[in-house]
Amino acid sequence: MKLKIVRITFIVLVGFLLTMGVISMIGDRTYTYTPLFDEMMPENTVKNFMVAPTETALTFARYESEAGIQVLLVHRYTADWIEGVNLNDALQTPETDVLVLFETEGYDRLAKLNHTVALVRIASENVVIPIDTGERHIAMGGNYLEHGQEVAIETPWIFPKIVQPTPAFADVPWNTTMLDPEVEMGLVLLNDLRKEDGFPEYMGIILVNDFSDRKRLVQYTNPNSDDPCAGCTEGKSQAMYLPIGNLLVVPKDFETFYPQIELRLYVNNALRQKAYTSELTLNPRQIVNTIWENAEALYDYQGGKTSLLANPDLIEKGTIILTGTPAGVVFSPPTFRQIMSGIPGYILSFNWSNRSPLDGYFRGAEGARLFLQKGDQVISSANYLGILDQRIRDDLK
């Protein structure tokens, strides 16, 4: 009897070891990424920027002065300075909230202001975030066809991004081995919006970079969930993961203006992403409709649930709607072989609460060093919207 037990135990052990060996042979933790472009950043990208004429769009900025925050109607914009009309002086108003000022004065009056009155030139280091905004924002995923294909999700999805925006030249913390940038056009609600209001007459546009902790995103995504990116809010809502541009642009005719914007993103001067916003799968009107359809949807966040909108009947003014990013991100979902590569170590660790079958995938991604590394520079640009310039640092909290 004892001999039989020994034999059975031996057979089970041999079978187990053979199984682990086969799984190891099937598995492959290799992580690869092929850039879509073989192009370097033009030298003048960070020097001069196109500002829309006031008859087409109004471009606003804000800056810090001895008198406090001041609002600027921008006419010229470079990496070193911004030039335009000081609206507080020209209109004799103390109002520093651009959204309130626009609502009070109106497009036509601001567009007709004498460009030589209260003309100032401000050093770029004195420029601050152009809008008053909170930390609850809304993001679209997979809203460019090729990006949806590269992350293996066919239909665009929506989720809350909960983070306070940072300035255009604010650095980003290197707090993950899978840090990924995404350049996007952000829409800004100029007034509170209710469903019955329809699409607003005026909508602000701002350049944003939607940084993501891809490791956290994957860890919090439940493969059995109906949500194609259940970990998006968790992976994209880390502090300092939403730098926004210095400029808020309000087009006269939004529908004809926004498709002209070309988004570009460079990492260490090499082009990673490029697309026109006319290529969006869901256009801005459809995005707003999608928000209302998902107003009460719940998303995993910080161990609990959060809704897309704080108030399901209202999109608050100042909310930034991230419209989606083009193809070219480093991230790709774990493959079958990458998952298999982590299973032997996961099983043999006997530490199943602290280990994951995805450990092989994560180690492969870390070893490949394809995601952002400390010291990297990320530059995002768009005609009319300006530039974002981020350094990746490991000494930020």
The answer to whether residue 25 is domain-embedded is no
Whether residue 117 sits in one domain with residue 191: no
The answer to whether residue 213 is domain-embedded is yes
The CATH number of the domain where 168 resides is what? 3.90.850.10
Whether residue 94 sits in one domain with residue 228: no
Whether residue 217 sits in one domain with residue 78: no
Confidence at 349, pLDDT banded by 50, 70, 90: low
Q: Is pLDDT of 15 > 80?
A: no
Whether residue 151 sits in one domain with residue 115: no
% the chain with pLDDT above 90: 76
Q: Report the distance separating Cα 256 and Cα 245, nearest Å.
A: 21
Stated as kind and residue range, the H or E segment containing 158 is strand 157-162
**Residue where a domain stops, chosen among 128, 152, 184:** 128
Whether residue 246 sits in one domain with residue 332: yes
Q: Is pLDDT of 22 > 60?
A: no
Whether residue 144 sits in one domain with residue 122: no
**Residue where a domain stops, chosen among 128, 144, 175:** 128
Tally of domains in the chain: 2
- 3-class DSSP state of 113: coil
Q: Is pLDDT of 372 > 60?
A: yes
Whether residue 351 sits in one domain with residue 231: yes
pLDDT, position 45:
76
Which residue's structure tokens are 């850039």? 35
Whether residue 144 sits in one domain with residue 120: no
**Residue where a domain stops, chosen among 75, 109, 128:** 128
Domain that holds residue 281: 136-393
The answer to whether residue 151 is domain-embedded is yes
User: What are the pLDDT digits (tens) for 90-108?
Assistant: 999 999 999 999 999 999 9
Confidence at 17, pLDDT banded by 50, 70, 90: very low
pLDDT, position 24:
54
Confidence at 3, pLDDT banded by 50, 70, 90: low
Confidence at 146, pLDDT banded by 50, 70, 90: very high
Which of 65, 62, 245 is CA-nearest to residue 169?
A: 245
Whether residue 260 sits in one domain with residue 228: yes
CA distances from 77 to 51, 60, 82, 297 (A): 7, 11, 5, 40
Alpha-helical regions (H) of the chain: 2-26, 87-90, 98-105, 107-111, 145-150, 214-219, 232-236, 254-257, 284-293, 336-349, 359-368
Whether residue 104 sits in one domain with residue 145: no
The answer to whether residue 219 is domain-embedded is yes
Q: Is pLDDT of 308 > 60?
A: yes
Q: Is 283 left (phi over 0), alpha (psi -120 to 50) or beta?
A: beta
| Global confidence as pTM | 0.92
Q: Report the distance separating Cα 91 and Cα 101, nearest Å.
A: 10
pLDDT, position 18:
45
What is the DSSP annotation of 215-241?
A: HHHHHT--TTSSSTTTTHHHHH-STT-
**Residues near 306 by beta carbon (within 8 Å), at least 6 away in sequence:** 160, 162, 233, 298, 299
pLDDT, position 9:
54
User: What are the pLDDT digits (tens) for 192-232?
Assistant: 999 999 999 999 999 999 999 999 999 988 666 666 678 99
The answer to whether residue 38 is domain-embedded is no
Q: Is pLDDT of 14 > 70?
A: no
Stated as kind and residue range, the H or E segment containing 119 is strand 119-123
DSSP-derived letter for residue 41 is P
Whether residue 340 sits in one domain with residue 300: yes
Confidence at 28, pLDDT banded by 50, 70, 90: confident
* Tokens linked to 162: 């909960």
Q: Is pLDDT of 27 > 70?
A: no
pLDDT, position 83:
95
Residue at 273: amino acid letter: Q
The answer to whether residue 16 is domain-embedded is no
Q: What is the mean pLDDT of residues 107-114?
A: 92
Q: Is pLDDT of 23 > 80?
A: no
The answer to whether residue 8 is domain-embedded is no
DSSP-derived letter for residue 395 is S
Q: Is pLDDT of 88 > 90?
A: yes
pLDDT, position 350:
60
Whether residue 120 sits in one domain with residue 145: no
CA distances from 174 to 181, 245, 391 (A): 12, 21, 9
The answer to whether residue 114 is domain-embedded is yes
Q: Is pLDDT of 8 > 80?
A: no
